[in-house]
Amino acid sequence: METVVSGIRSTGNLHLGNYYGAIQNFVKMQHEYNCYFFIADLHSLTTHPTPANLHGNVKHVLVEYLAAGIDPEKATIYIQSDVPEIAELYLYMNMNAYMGELERSTSFKDKVRANPDNVNAGLLTYPVLMAADILIHKATKVPVGKDQEQHLEMARTFGNRFNRLYNNEYFPEPYAFTFGESLVKIPGLDGKGKMGKSEGEGNAVYLSDTPEAIRKKVMRAVTDSGPTTENQEKPVEIQNLFDLMKVVSTPDTLAHFDNLYNTMQIRYGDLKKQLAEDMIIATAPIREKINDIAADAPYLRQVARHGAIKARESAARTIKEVREIIGFRSF
């Protein structure tokens, strides 16, 4: 089976964007591919989390991966820092990454603009660590969004550069991968871009949110004063609500509110109430599992250890071969 690698940064709870945009497909992939799904706690160090926050955030993601349907018997779920071979490969790849190409990375330039007081080396070499995450398992398929495609291209560059430098076609080329249907882009509640943790607390609906929290967030979603002509094009903030409804509501519900909008009879309060209830129903099974799994410390410990052993088997094999290719020899 071909190898798939993907990770999610441990920066807090997972939201509907993570679930419908990625994890739902992970659950399907695990039956047909050799899947490695990791929690990227090393990547999260660029923002300097406290030790308590770091551990708590890793636990949140691990619990929610499991609650969403990723099976540790079918896929390898592991915590990035439990596999030290990744850090070793990161070191080797850094030796072949050039300042100019790292400084041209779009995400690095964005981070510098957003956080001018925290321009650390980890941000600069973020694409190198991402490459190590992928290359350590010699993955060929990587489920990524548009915003990560440049990083994936850089992973190919670093792998190919290693192959040329040592005259050994060792690393295969990884490519972006969309399993089955195309990835779903989940908009946020702030009327702007996609749903995300960094856009503010009210922008994202989390898988662990209580029904009350979901209702409160959805009722605060940005709207306008309503349509002024029949069948007019919906502004972005209104289209976002309909796009969310497309994901969590029935086709009949969506058609009903679409018709009300097109005939200028829409009441946004009714739309939001319906959307909130449909989100609550859609997330209820996951929310119940989150609560059960989070309380089962022995099971979480077992999953993390089992995943680390499986991931390290693959990673150790790669590091052994890479060291031999580079020329490290024991005396």
Does 146 count as an annotated binding residue? yes
Cβ pair 66, 77 in contact under 8 A = yes
Whether residue 9 has pLDDT greater than 60 = yes
pLDDT value at residue 176: 87
pLDDT over 60 (residue 182): no
Annotated binding residue 280: no
Mean per-residue pLDDT of the chain: 92
Q: Which residues contact 57 (CB under 8 A, 6 or more apart)?
A: 10, 11, 12, 41, 44, 49
Asked about 320 being catalytic, the answer comes back as no
Over pLDDT 90: what percentage of the chain? Answer: 74
The answer on pLDDT for 99 being more than 80 is yes
Q: How big is the CA angle at 131 (ends 126 and 132), to the nearest 5 degrees? A: 100
pLDDT of residue 165: 97
Phi-psi sector, 48: left (phi>0), alpha (psi -120 to 50), beta: left
Query: Predicted confidence band at 149 (pLDDT cuts at 50, 70, 90)?
Result: confident
Q: Catalytic residue among 59, 74, 197, 310, which?
A: 197
Q: What is the mean pLDDT of residues 214-234?
A: 94
Task: Give the active site residue among 138, 194, 234, 289.
Answer: 194
Flag whether pLDDT at 331 surpasses 90. no
Predicted confidence at residue 179, as pLDDT, reads 65
Contacts of residue 48, Cβ cutoff 8 Å, sequence gap at least 6: 118
pLDDT of 59 over the 80 cut: yes
Flag whether 110 is marked binding: no
Phi-psi domain of 249 (left: phi exceeds 0; alpha: psi -120 through 50; beta: other): beta
Instruction: Please check if 194 is assigned to a binding site.
Output: yes
Fill in the amino acid letter for 62. Answer: L
133 known member of a binding site: yes
CA distance 226 to 221: 14
192 given a catalytic annotation: no
What integer is the mean pLDDT of 265-269? 96
CA dihedral angle for residue 31, residue 299, residue 84, residue 24, rounded to 10 degrees: 30
Catalytic residue among 111, 141, 217, 272: 111
For residue 197, indicate whether it is catalytic. Answer: yes
Is the per-residue pLDDT at 180 higher than 80? no
pLDDT higher than 70, residue 97: yes
Judged by average pLDDT, the poorest of 11-25, 28-42, 90-104, 270-284 is: 11-25
Q: Is the pLDDT of residue 10 over 80?
A: no
198 labelled as ligand-binding?
yes
Q: Is 99 annotated as a binding residue?
A: no
Q: How confident is the model at residue 202 (pLDDT cuts 50, 70, 90)?
A: confident
